[in-house]
Amino acid sequence: MKHISIHWFRKGLRLHDNPALLAAMTDCHTLYPIFILDPWFPKNMRVSVNRWRFLVESLRDLDESLQKLNSRLFVVRGCPTEVFPVLFKEWKVTRLTFEIDTEPYSRQRDCEVVRLAAEHGIQVIQKVSNTLYDTDRVIAENNGKVPLTYVRLQTLLAALGPPKRPVPAPTLENLKDCCTPCKDNHDAEYGIPTLEELGQDPEQAGPRLYPGGESEALCRLDLHMNRTAWVCNFQKPQTEPNSLNPSTTVLSPYIKFGCLSVRTFWWRLAEIYQGRKHSNPPVSLHGQLLWREFFYTAGAGIPNFNKMEGNPVCVQVDWDNNPEHLRAWSEGRTGYPFIDAIMTQLRTEGWIHHLARHAVACFLTRGDLWISWEQGQKVFEELLLDADWSLNAGNWQWLSASAFFHQFFRIYSPVAFGKKTDKGGEYIKKYLPFLRKFPAEYIYEPWKAPRSVQEQAGCVIGRDYPKPVVVHEVVSKRNVERMKAAYARRSASATAQLEGGGGKKGAKRKTPAGPSVAELLTKKPKT
C-alpha cells in the first residue's frame, strides 16, 4: 500500500538528518510537508520580532528547498488538535510523521494528536533527531532518575556509545514516485506568513546579523569547520564575552530551530578531532553539545523544570519583587556599563555570548539585584534568537545557584569581569555610544569620574546615564548571606523529610494572557 503522508515540521526545520521526513517519503505516493502556526506559543511565551523574523526566514528557506524536490511547504494556522482532523479527512491521510519533542506542552500536544490519528486509522511515526540521544532512554539507563551532574551524564552516554550518525537529506530519487499536490492559490492559503500577519512591526527588528534557515546554517557550519586549529583548540571559558565580533560559532539559533542538526554538528566535529590533539568536554565544542544534552535530559525528566516552586532540584529562595530594578536590568539601565551593554546587545541583536549571559544572570539574581531567575528567564525567552525551553530554564537555575551549581559565593563582578578581556571598553563604546568619550579608567565605572571628565565626555552620570541601581560591593556580600540562609533551610527541610516530615506540593502553573498575535494565528491570510 502506498501512503498519503503528512510530515509535520516543528523544531526540525531542515531536510538534512531528518529521519521522520524520510519515513514519510517511504512507500509514499502523496506527501504533504506542513508547519503549524500554533497560537499556544504566543499565548504562553514572549517572542521578539527578531525571533519571529528568524522563524519566517527559516520557513521560507525550507519551502525553497522543498521546491527543488518538486514539493512545497504548507503553513497551516490553528491549534494542532483542531487542524489535524480536518487535514486527515480533506487529504485522506494514512501516515503522520514528526520529530520527537520533550517539552511539557509538546508532549501533551503530541499525545493528543497521536490519539486523534488513531481514531482516523492513521499510522504515526516519531523519530529522535532533536537531541543526540533519546532522553527517555538516558533517564531509564540511570534507573529512572535524571542525571544531575555533567559527569554522571557523560558516564551514562559512554555506556550507550556514540550518537547515531545523521541520515542523508532526501533527493529527487526519494520522491520519484511521490507528488505534493499544490493548487494555484497555495501561497494564499498555505503560504509563509509575513511579520505583519504575525502582528509584528518589521521596523522594530534589529540588524539582520543571523539570517534564518537551513542553507545559512550549513554555510556557517562549513565556515567554522574549515577552521581546523580553532575547532581543535576551542575552550569555551577562554572565549571573550565582549569581543566586537562573536568569539564562538553562533550556531545556537540554528540548532534551536533545527535548521542545523545537532548530530550533523557532532559528527563533523568528530571527523576533525580524528587523529588530532583537541580540547575535551566540558570546554570543547563537543562539550557544548553535551551541555545541551544535559539540560534537555533534565527538562524531560524534572517536574516544573522552568519554575522554582514544585521543582524538586531547585533551592527555594525568598527573592525580592522589585519591578523597577527588573526593568532597569532588562532595558540596560542599571548604571553598570558592562551589564547595560550586554542587555542592549541582546535587545537589538538577539544574541549574546554565553559568558555575557553568566554576567547578567548573576547580576539579576544572587549577585546584585536579588530578583528571581524566573523573571530573567522570561526576558531571555523573549529576546534570545536561541531561546530554548530546557536550556533557558537549566542555565538560569545554574547561574542563580538554584540547582546544579552550588558555589553561590562565587560572584561575577559587573566591573572586573568585563575588564579581563576588554580593558579599553570597546564593547561598551559600541553598544552604549554615549559613553564612548570616557577615558578607559572610568568607562566601567563612570560614576567615579570627576564631574569635569563627565562633562567633557558629554555624559553626566545621574542625568544622561543612570547612577548604579545598587552598590555591588555592599549588596553582593549581603546576598551571599541570604543565599547561605536559603541553603540552610533546604538542608533542614531535607532532614525533616528523612525523619518523616512532608514537603509542600508545588503551586499550579498560571497561564499568562497572550498577545493579539495568538488570535491572528487562528485566522487564514486574506486572499
The pLDDT tens digits along the chain (527 residues) read: 799 999 999 999 999 999 999 999 999 999 999 999 999 999 998 999 999 999 999 999 999 999 999 999 999 999 999 999 999 999 999 999 999 999 999 999 999 999 999 999 999 999 999 999 999 999 999 999 999 999 999 999 999 999 999 999 999 999 999 999 999 999 999 999 999 999 999 999 999 999 999 999 999 999 999 999 999 999 999 999 999 999 999 999 999 999 999 999 999 999 999 999 999 999 999 999 999 999 999 999 999 999 999 999 999 999 999 999 999 999 999 999 999 999 999 999 999 999 999 999 999 999 999 999 999 999 999 999 999 999 999 999 999 999 999 999 999 999 999 999 999 999 999 999 999 999 999 999 999 999 999 999 999 999 999 999 999 999 999 999 999 999 999 888 776 666 654 444 444 434 333 334 444 444 443 33
298 labeled part of a ligand binding site: no
260 labeled part of a ligand binding site: no
Cα–Cα distance for residue pair 329/469, rounded to 1 Å: 9
294 labeled part of a ligand binding site: yes
64 labeled part of a ligand binding site: no
449 labeled part of a ligand binding site: no
Q: Would you list the DSSP string of 33-71?
A: EEEEE-THHHHHS---HHHHHHHHHHHHHHHHHHHTTT-
257 labeled part of a ligand binding site: no
384 labeled part of a ligand binding site: no
Q: Which amino acid is located at 90 in the chain?
A: E
51 labeled part of a ligand binding site: no
290 labeled part of a ligand binding site: yes
291 labeled part of a ligand binding site: yes
41 labeled part of a ligand binding site: no
Cα–Cα distance for residue pair 269/254, rounded to 1 Å: 16
30 labeled part of a ligand binding site: no
Cα–Cα distance for residue pair 221/250, rounded to 1 Å: 10
295 labeled part of a ligand binding site: yes
Cα–Cα distance for residue pair 325/165, rounded to 1 Å: 47
**Residue 494: predicted pLDDT:** 73
Question: How many other CB atoms are there within 10 angstroms of residue 511's CB atom?
Answer: 9
59 labeled part of a ligand binding site: no
Q: Would you list the DSSP string of 382-408?
A: HH-TT--HHHHHHHHHHHTTSSS---T
Q: For the chain, what is the total number of helices (H) and then of strands (E)? A: 23, 5
**Residue 503: predicted pLDDT:** 44
**Residue 499: predicted pLDDT:** 66
**Residue 500: predicted pLDDT:** 58
**Residue 1: predicted pLDDT:** 78
180 labeled part of a ligand binding site: no
CB 42 within 8 A of CB 517: yes
Per residue in 331-361, is it b (16+ CB within 10 Å) or e — as a string? ebbbbbbbbbbbbbbbbbbbbbbebbbbbbb
Q: If you search the block for the grid coordinates 499568562, which residue do you land on?
A: 512
Cα–Cα distance for residue pair 140/373, rounded to 1 Å: 29
Nearest-CA neighbor of 147 among 349, 354, 333, 299?
Answer: 299
285 labeled part of a ligand binding site: no
Write the CA distances from 367 to 223, 284, 333, integer angstroms.
38, 27, 17
